[in-house]
Structure formats: C-alpha cells, structure tokens
Amino acid sequence: MTLDRLIAEEGKRRTMGTTEQTHGAGPERTAEIADRVEAFVRETVIPYERDARRDHHGSPLDALVYEMREKARAAGVLTPHILPDGNHLTQRETAVVLIRSGLSPLGPLACNTGAPDEGNMYLLGKVGSPDVKARFLTPLVEGRARSAFFMTEPADAGGAGSDPSMMISTCRRDGNHWVINGRKRFITGADGAQVGIVMARSEDPDSAGGACMFLVELPDPAIRIDIVPNTIDSSMPGGHATLTIDNLRVPADQMLGNAGEGFKYAQIRLSPARLSHCMRWLGACIRANEIATDYANRRMAFGKTLIDHEGVGFMLAENLIDLKQAELMVDWCAGVLDTGSLGTAESSMAKVAVSEALMRVADRCVQVMGGTGVTDETIVEQVFREIRAFRIYDGPTEVHKWSLAKKIKRDWKAAQA
C-alpha cells in the first residue's frame, strides 16, 4: 500500500461520540488570538525566564506559574485554545495559537496551554460527564489547578511504558467505590497537582482486563510520591514523579466514561496531545533560531560576521528548512484530526518528523553560538535539553516507526485479500 493510500485509509476512521463538538473560531479570530498570545509571551513572559523561583532541578515553582497565569488572565490570553462559550479551537487553529505560546518555555505554563493540562482538558471535554466537567475540568480551564495523567509504570516491575497493554496497576469494585493499587513512574506534574487522571487495569468480572480511568482530587494520602528524579528537561512544574498508589478509594461516579474502556479513551487523548507537544516545541525552536541568527549577525570572527561564513550561514538556512517542514507536518496532521479521525498513523509520523527536525534545529543553534550556546545566558541550551527529552516522551521515535511498520504490513496483507 502506498503512503498516500495509508493516509487516506486512516483518515476514514472516526472517533467515538463525544460530549461536545469542536467548532473553531475562524481564521481572523484565530489570528487575533495568536497575535495577542505572542505579544504577551514576548513582552510579559520572557522576562520571567530569569526568575529564581525554581525547584531542585530548575523547574518553575507553582508560585511563579500562578503569578504568570494571573497576568495572562488580565491580558485575556489564559487558556486561549478554549473559547468563552466552551468550544475548543480546531486542531489547525490550536496549532496557530500553541506555536506562539511556545516561544518561551514558560509560555505554555503562563497561558495554560502546556502538558499535561492541555491534553487532560481535551480528554475531559470529550469524555467527561457534566458533573466531572464541573468538578475537574472547570478549575483546569480557569487555570486555578494543575493536573497529572497517571499511566506510565516502572520498568523494573514490568509495567506499562510505551506499551499501555503492559499495565499492572489494578482497580477493583468495592461497593460504590473502586480501589486502586500500583506504582507509577514519570508522572509529569504529580507533585503539586490538584487533579489526577489515574489509569488502572480492571479486576472486576464485568470489565476484567480492560483499563479504567478515574478522576482523583489531589493530594491524596493513598498516593505517595517516592521520588522526583532530576531529568534532562526542566520546563514542567512538579517534575516527573515516581509514586505508589496504596488502596486508593475512588467513588464510582468519578470513573471517566465506562469501565474497561480506558484504552479507547487514552487514544482520544494521545494523538492530539502528541501533536500539541510538536506545536509548543516548534515555537521554542523558532525562538532559539531567532537568538542564534541574531548572534551570527553580530559576532565577528576571522574578519567577518559569522553569518558570512558559509558553514554557519548554511546551518541557519537548514534551520529554516526544518522549521518550515515541521510547521507543515503539524498543519497536515492537525487537518486530519479535524476530520474526526483518531489520526494514529498521522500523529506518529508527525511526532517522528517534527521531533527529529527540531532536534536538528536546536543542535545547530547551540553550534552556531559556540560556547555561549551551552550556557544559560540564553534559552538556547534549555531548548536543546527539552527537545532531547521530547524525542522520548509521548513515544520514542523507534516506537512510532515500529507502529507504522506494523500498520504497513497489516494494510499490505489486507490488500492481498
């Protein structure tokens, strides 16, 4: 099967019914939102990049996050991808806005467009009951709370990582509650979050083996954070915790959707959230390239500016090519998601193409700036670290290529029938 046919076939698959629709804002209103977001990030957020309110490995503290959010609220750019009437921008419109919010690593935190909150808001908007939305979605949309998505598990216990089907955390029904036990790892933002989406495999006879999702108010004494390790990235408050869930009791009405359907709900979240990462980090690399370009046009070496040395000028030219290819890949995948498709194959292709292209861009920015590029005098070195982590989270490049190869084989076999 050709790539074009693969894409066309995937585009025919539709998502499950949702509780609300995506109507969009229209091109003029979207452009206006995006312009306001960019102005806010450049004028208000970027000065916060030097703010010392950070944790043990450089992640912003909540005091910093919520201070910026109050300024975003006043500027009318808080949670800009969700309209005042509750409707979500289309994915293509979301891309225009989130790229601008990503111009600073702090931008998504300030504007409430960052991970994991943005993906969790999207999921709750699609699957949550009216009560769930009122209790858990509203404070997230209003920027008054942070959230965490509890799926990944420790490898030493054989738990779920890139393969959610390996999940070993369990849940069982006990009267009008469910009891959850297990361990989770790399849970972004868990330390300090107020809303948790916990995923566990059901032991209940009616949904045995299927996954369930639960909404949890945090902190909860049954969820113990064991360690928040130092990681190469440092843009997300709360870090990436390892934790133990010990007999966590959750009321049955706090289950998200139906018992045993958690893996399906995860698919609703994963493709858009994967693409949102591409959007935000594209914005960060655009800014890094601006900084490297300015440096190359000012720095003199061997009798002329760096930009006039072919080796440097060509690196910046290659950056423009990679940035444009990443932008087009994001727009293409967003368009597929806007048709109602799950976009599983397309989001895998976009994740691989964009993360690898942005890694090249970030690396060249460091190289162009030489010694300055590896210092914290600019955000270039942080963007390099963040993009390196981005190649791992939401599925490493190799996992997505493997998934695509399996699909190619399935489609080839189907074509022979």
Identify the pLDDT of residue 156: 87
**DSSP H stretches of helix in 236-309:** 262-298
Identity of the residue numbered 345: A
* Pair (334, 366) in one structural domain: yes
CB 240 within 8 A of CB 115: no
The answer to whether residue 405 is domain-embedded is yes
* Pair (397, 267) in one structural domain: yes
CB 395 within 8 A of CB 162: yes
Read off the pLDDT of residues 253-304 as tens digits, 9 standing for 90 and up.
999 999 999 999 998 999 999 999 999 999 999 999 999 999 999 999 999 9
Mean pLDDT of 319-330: 98
* Pair (311, 290) in one structural domain: yes
By residue range, what is the domain housing residue 289?
A: 263-416
* Pair (272, 251) in one structural domain: no
Measured CA to CA, the distance from residue 3 to residue 25 in angstroms comes to 32
**DSSP H stretches of helix in 339-396:** 344-369, 380-390
Q: Is the pLDDT of residue 10 over 60?
A: no
Per the DSSP assignment, residues forming a β-bridge with 178 are 173, 250
Q: Is the pLDDT of residue 237 over 50?
A: yes
Number of domains in the chain: 3
CATH of the domain at 123: 1.10.540.10
The answer to whether residue 172 is domain-embedded is yes
Read off the pLDDT of residues 153-185 as tens digits, 9 standing for 90 and up.
999 878 988 888 899 999 999 999 999 999 999
* Final residue of a structural domain among 127, 160, 188: 127
Q: Is the pLDDT of residue 19 over 80?
A: no
The answer to whether residue 275 is domain-embedded is yes
CATH of the domain at 241: 2.40.110.10
* Pair (80, 118) in one structural domain: yes
Measured CA to CA, the distance from residue 297 to residue 78 in angstroms comes to 35
Identify the pLDDT of residue 107: 98
**24: phi > 0 → left, psi -120 to 50 → alpha, else beta; which?**
left
Range with lowest mean pLDDT among 199-208, 226-235, 313-322, 380-389: 199-208
pTM of the complete model: 0.92
* Pair (277, 406) in one structural domain: yes
* Pair (30, 163) in one structural domain: no
CATH of the domain at 393: 1.20.140.10
Identify the pLDDT of residue 366: 98
The answer to whether residue 13 is domain-embedded is no
The answer to whether residue 138 is domain-embedded is no
The answer to whether residue 7 is domain-embedded is no
Identify the pLDDT of residue 276: 98
CB 188 within 8 A of CB 148: yes
Measured CA to CA, the distance from residue 293 to residue 311 in angstroms comes to 13
Q: Give burial (CB, 10 Å; 0-12/13-18/19+) of 61.
A: middle
* Final residue of a structural domain among 212, 239, 256: 256
201: tokens are: 């495999």
171: tokens are: 């849940």
Q: Is the pLDDT of residue 23 over 90?
A: no
Please spell the DSSP secondary structure of 22-64, one letter per residue: -----HHHHHHHHHHHHHHIIIIIGGGGG---B-TTSPBPHHH
Percentage above 70 pLDDT, the chain: 94
Please state, as a whole number, how many other Cβ atoms lie within 10 Å of the Cβ of residue 350: 26
Measured CA to CA, the distance from residue 218 to residue 144 in angstroms comes to 13
* Final residue of a structural domain among 228, 256, 284: 256
In this structure, what is the dihedral angle of CA atoms 147, 150, 151, 155, given to the nearest 10 degrees?
A: 130
The answer to whether residue 291 is domain-embedded is yes
* Pair (251, 288) in one structural domain: no
The answer to whether residue 133 is domain-embedded is no
Read off the pLDDT of residues 344-365 as tens digits, 9 standing for 90 and up.
999 999 999 999 999 999 999 9
